[in-house]
């Protein structure tokens, strides 16, 4: 897809204050909504946490029998994740390409509040790629923070793209929809769109 890239300003923002972001995420309330959905829909097996941040969810997944690898675009956040969660595997890989991840590699893919940091031209390609790394019958848990109106950047210069969910629905056409809802995140308190899908 033309102009399908990551947003470098967002990655630089996470690198610039990786320890601050990681500390905030580690001490947010537990993501009970995520945990309930994972327990209900994920199948035991290799799991990818795409946009793993501090590694909190990657560690939680592994502890509960979903052996997980955490992937993130930010080298600073990966350093924090490795420091905070030794023994868990963390690797650098960027949406939308997810270079280095082979097709049909994972039974489950978790991508929690990540794709809204991508330029609109990259979102459909990113979701398509998330689906490609699933094994047949695998499950994708996908959320994004809802931004109304126009794209914006926060005080850290992180991009929040306002986009039509149809971009995502096109990319997951043919998958079985298990959950599709707009909710307040139990962890961040922000409005998110949440999809759980099986291929």
Residue 1, pLDDT score:
38
Tokens of 134: 């699933």
How many whole angstroms separate alpha carbon 136 and alpha carbon 91?
Answer: 24
How many whole angstroms separate alpha carbon 128 and alpha carbon 21?
Answer: 28
Q: What is the pTM of this model?
A: 0.94
Tokens of 64: 């509960």
Would you kindly state where each structural domain of the chain is located, as residue ranges? 8-198
184 — pLDDT class (breaks 50, 70, 90):
confident
Q: For the chain, what's the residue count?
A: 199
Tens of pLDDT, residues 79-113 = 999 999 999 999 999 999 999 999 999 999 999 99
**Which stretches does DSSP call E strand in the chain?**
47-50, 68-72, 89-92, 106-111, 134-145, 152-153, 159-160, 176-184, 191-198
3-state secondary structure (DSSP) of residue 21: helix
3-state secondary structure (DSSP) of residue 2: coil
3-state secondary structure (DSSP) of residue 122: helix
Is the alpha carbon torsion for 90, 50, 181, 135 positive or negative? negative
188 — pLDDT class (breaks 50, 70, 90):
confident
2 — pLDDT class (breaks 50, 70, 90):
very low
Question: Looking at the predicted structure, is the pLDDT value of residue 122 above 80?
Answer: yes
Q: What is the mean pLDDT of residues 141-145?
A: 97
30 — pLDDT class (breaks 50, 70, 90):
confident
- How far is it between the farthest Cα atoms of the chain? 42
Averaged pLDDT of the chain: 95
Q: Tell me which of 185 and 26 has the higher pLDDT.
A: 26
Please, what CATH class does the domain formed by 8-198 belong to?
Answer: alpha beta
N-to-C CA span, the chain: 22
Contact 30, 186 (CB under 8 A): yes
Tokens of 44: 């035991």
For residue 145, which phi and psi values (nearest 5 degrees)? -75, 130
Residue 4, pLDDT score:
63
């Amino acid at each position: 897809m033309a102009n399908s890239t990551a947003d470098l300003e967002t990655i630089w923002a996470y690198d610039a204050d990786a320890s601050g972001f990681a500390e905030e995420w580690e001490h947010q309330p537990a993501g009970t909504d995520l945990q309930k959905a994972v327990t209900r829909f994920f199948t035991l097996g290799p799991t990818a946490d795409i946009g793993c941040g501090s590694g909190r969810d990657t560690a939680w997944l592994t502890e509960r029998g979903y052996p997980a690898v955490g992937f993130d675009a930010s080298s600073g956040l990966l350093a924090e994740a490795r420091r905070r969660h030794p023994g868990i595997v963390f690797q650098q890989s960027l949406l939308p390409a997810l270079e280095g991840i082979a097709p049909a590699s994972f039974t489950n893919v978790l991508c929690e509040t990540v794709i809204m940091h991508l330029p609109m031209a990259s979102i459909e390609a990113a979701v398509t790629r998330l689906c490609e790394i699933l094994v047949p019958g695998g499950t994708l848990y996908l959320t994004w923070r809802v931004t109304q109106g126009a794209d914006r950047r926060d005080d850290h210069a992180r991009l929040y793209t306002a986009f039509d969910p149809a971009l995502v629905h096109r990319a997951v056409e043919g998958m079985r929809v298990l959950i599709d809802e707009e909710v307040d995140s139990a962890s961040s308190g922000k409005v998110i769109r949440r999809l759980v899908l099986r291929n």
